């Protein structure tokens, strides 16, 4: 048999290979599971939260903490300060009915930020807009930068 005939026969045999869709789906899921680590094994919450951004800005008079927290309402967000540690938590749960039945959606956010200095706890303000939580933490007078003038001696 010539090489050309071998190739023709091989192509004909390949076309007749039976594909089991369930095996294919199982292999895709296995690949996703391996690629995403624990996300598909029930640890999706930690993996999801790890990806949410949080920035801390040190400005002259205050610290500003900006955290991405999409999908929450302001009354679902809890913010606490203890010394120089800011803790932000949010939890949301909703149910919906559709043609396929009832479904429940649950979302959680937890962020703890250690600030470099103590803040004035009575003047802390927080806003939430378009999925962004912003917390303004005024610095105590003791930690605000002070300009020291130098005089010639």
Walk me through the domains of the chain, giving residue ranges and CATH numbers. 17-51 (no CATH), 52-142 (2.60.40.790)
Residue 14: strand pairing partners: none
pLDDT at 9: 59
Quote the CA–CA distance of 79 and 94 in Å, as a whole number.
Answer: 22
Which is more confidently placed, 78 or 7? 78
Neighbours of 112 (CB within 10 A): 12
> What is the phi/psi pair of residue 122, to 5°?
-75, -15
pLDDT for the residue numbered 134: 96
The two tokens of residue 56 are 């801390």
Q: Please give the pLDDT value at position 40.
A: 45
- Pick the closest to residue 136 from 75, 60, 76, 73 (CA basis): 60
Asked if the model's pLDDT at residue 41 lies above 50, the reply is: no
In angstroms, the CA 76 to CA 93 distance is: 10
Three-state secondary-structure class, residue 69: coil
* Average pLDDT score, the chain: 77
Predicted structure pTM score: 0.58
Distances 17 to 5, 13, 24, 47, 83 between C-alpha atoms, Å: 19, 7, 14, 39, 67
What is d(CA 64, CA 73) in angstroms, rounded to the nearest whole number? 20
pLDDT of 119 over the 80 cut: yes
Query: H or E stretch including 44?
Result: helix 44-50
**Most confidently modeled of 14-18, 53-57, 119-123, 124-128?**
124-128
């Amino acid at each position: 048999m010539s090489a050309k005939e071998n190739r023709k026969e091989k192509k004909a045999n390949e076309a007749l290979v039976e594909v089991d869709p369930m095996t294919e789906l199982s292999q895709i899921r296995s690949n996703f599971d391996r690629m995403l680590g624990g996300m598909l094994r029930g640890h999706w919450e930690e993996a999801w939260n790890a990806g949410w951004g949080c920035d801390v800005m040190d400005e002259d008079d205050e610290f500003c903490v900006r955290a991405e927290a999409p999908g929450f309402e302001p009354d679902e967000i809890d913010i606490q300060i203890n010394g120089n540690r800011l803790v932000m938590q949010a939890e949301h749960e909703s149910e919906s009915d559709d043609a396929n039945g009832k479904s429940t959606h649950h979302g959680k956010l937890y962020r703890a930020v250690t600030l470099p200095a103590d803040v004035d706890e009575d003047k802390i303000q927080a806003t939430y807009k378009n999925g962004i939580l912003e917390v303004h933490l005024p610095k105590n007078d003791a930690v605000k930068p002070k300009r020291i003038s130098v005089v010639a001696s």
